[in-house]
Amino acid sequence: MAKHGTPHADRIKASILILDNGCWQWQNALDPAGYGRINVRNRNARAHRISYEAFVGPIPDGLTLDHLCKNRACVNPAHLEPVTLVENIRRGTSPSAKNTVKTHCLQGHEFTEANTYWAKNGYRQCRTCRRQYARRYEATRCRTRRKRAMMRK
């Protein structure tokens, strides 16, 4: 497990410029999305992830690091928060956010504040559709009940 003072930590400290807002601006290569790159064990890795692991600890499984400062080239572990990918997309900071966050549901209802339902798993649902599904479900249930009642006669 990486800990304080590892070679990675030293390499990171040697590759940054500390900005006025506290961001550790990566001074080496950036990838097309604007994230810092670092070579670790002959692999090209994202510098902010390596920085987090070097100064804080392992990133929990399945979690991604969200830049609280919205500066992708920043590798300051204090500006990084492990979140679920869903949460990261919801915050609109991931590169795929623009594609994932649609303004309308599949049925074309707008995702306004009032029309958006956030399920516990972070999944977004359209309230209008939910209402329609519920109504349809009720209708089917009534029909089945009636059918059953008829069969009993």
- Residues in contact with Zn ion by the rule CB under 5 A: 23, 69, 71, 74, 76, 79, 105, 107, 109, 126, 128-129
Of 20 and 61, CB closest to Zn ion: 20
- List alpha helices for 1-126, DSSP H: 7-13, 47-55, 85-91, 97-100
Quick one: which of 2, 3, 16, 141 has its CA closest to 79?
Answer: 16
Contacts of 114 (CB under 8 A, 6+ apart): 127
Closest CB 80 distance from Zn ion, rounded Å? 8
Closest CB 109 distance from Zn ion, rounded Å? 3
**C-beta separation of 15 from 38 below 8 A:** yes
Of 49 and 79, CB closest to Zn ion: 79
Closest CB 69 distance from Zn ion, rounded Å? 3
Of 89 and 105, CB closest to Zn ion: 105
